[in-house]
Amino acid sequence: MAENRMAILLTINGKDSPGITAALTSTLAEAGAVILDIEQVVIHNILTLSILIEAHKEEKKSLLKDLLYQSKELSVDLDFSLVPEKDVITSRPSTHTCVITCLGEFISTKAISTVTSALYDKEMNIEKIGKLAWGKLSCLEILASASSPISVKDLAGYFLEISHNTGVDIAVQRESLFRKAKRLVVMDMDSTLIQAEVIDELAALVGAGERVKNITERAMSGEIDFSESLRKRVSLLNGLSVDALAEVYDNLPLTQGAESLIKVLKRLGYKTAVISGGFNYFTHKLQERLGLDYAFANQLEIVDGKLTGRISGDIVDAAMKAKLLEDIAAREQISLDQVIAIGDGANDLPMLGKAGLGIAFNAKKSVREAASYSISQKSLDSILYLLGINENELKELG
């Protein structure tokens, strides 16, 4: 900074109205002041505007007099302080920045205090806090930085118990270009895209509902091998009429927010896929209904209009799910960092691990603990908040 120039920090507060920033910056421009930094926020119609300027020392009194007079006309308060040259930041220091997204039916003051205190304990500085959903406080986004490298995985694990104690979902992501540059979303079907386990519904029609449900729960929790469990469950469907597939499909409830999620993703140009350890009769139906780009699942063997109790071809197990995700990304020339994967079972974990953003959605405890991200919201489209999309943008896209 030249010897005849000085840095001044201007702070403006008051009731927001159109033209305040325009008027003040016009005055600064006319005086030949250089804006070094500027930030504005409006909360409940109250404006806070901070401007760091560089101005000629001999023009300081005249400039401040004009600004104070103008602020009075604009009905806002203006304060100022001189900033020593050594404290003027001309470039952003090297920091390690994370985005912490908090989701809940209502985020209490205690929850906010717990999260912000945890960041302080981890020697992280909060740079910005904003809400993404209007009305009651249900979604907060916190930008925090550390002066030394920090493990996102370790930080997410640190917040796991806090999430449990506060009843608020807490997702931690590295702030980078890839966070808002996702291009592919891959979803599980059962208990993710739909609120049912298809094989349980089919088994109920042959009187094997409880037996199959028990095996399903053990498989989703990771207690038994998925492929083995699938063969056991499908064998109990032997003799079931193929007409039962349509009957079950007609009664499948989509997860709340599923249709709006897909609609927004398509508007944003995302590719979408469902990869399921279930059956392709149902994934293809959902693909057609929702306009998904890809659908993969197991093929039930059918002879003379009845299920044989066997699977045709390779089983879509945990490893196959992860491979299919990679295949789709490669086909679409999309980096894995730009992929979102969503699932609820242990057989989804390898798929979630491959994606830049792998989300355990209303999953079993063991899956939540193993996944990098976990949310327990009722609506599937709440995932959009993790991309930094706010409620107004969602309405516009809807």
Q: Which residue's structure tokens are 């706010």? A: 390
DSSP character at residue 230: H
Return the bridge partners of 169, or none: 103
Question: What six digits make up the tokens of 27?
Answer: 């005055």
Closest CA to 273 of 182, 340, 186: 186
Instruction: Answer for the pair 346, 369: CB distance below 8 angstroms, yes or no.
Output: no
Q: Pick the catalytic residue from 169, 190, 317, 348.
A: 190
CB-count burial class (<10 Å; 0-12, 13-18, 19+) for 320:
buried
SS3 assignment for 65-93: HHHHHHHHHCCEEEEEEEECHHHCCCCCC
Is position 190 annotated as part of the catalytic site?
yes
State yes or no: is 344 an active-site residue.
no
Within 10 angstroms of residue 78's Cβ, the number of other Cβ atoms is: 20
Dist. CA 368–CA 303, nearest whole Å: 40
Task: Please tell me which residue in 16, 169, 188, 225 is annotated as part of the active site.
Answer: 188
Tokens 């939540």, located at residue? 368
Per-state percent for the chain, helix, strand, coil, to nearest 5 = 40, 30, 30
Question: Known catalytic residues?
Answer: 188, 190
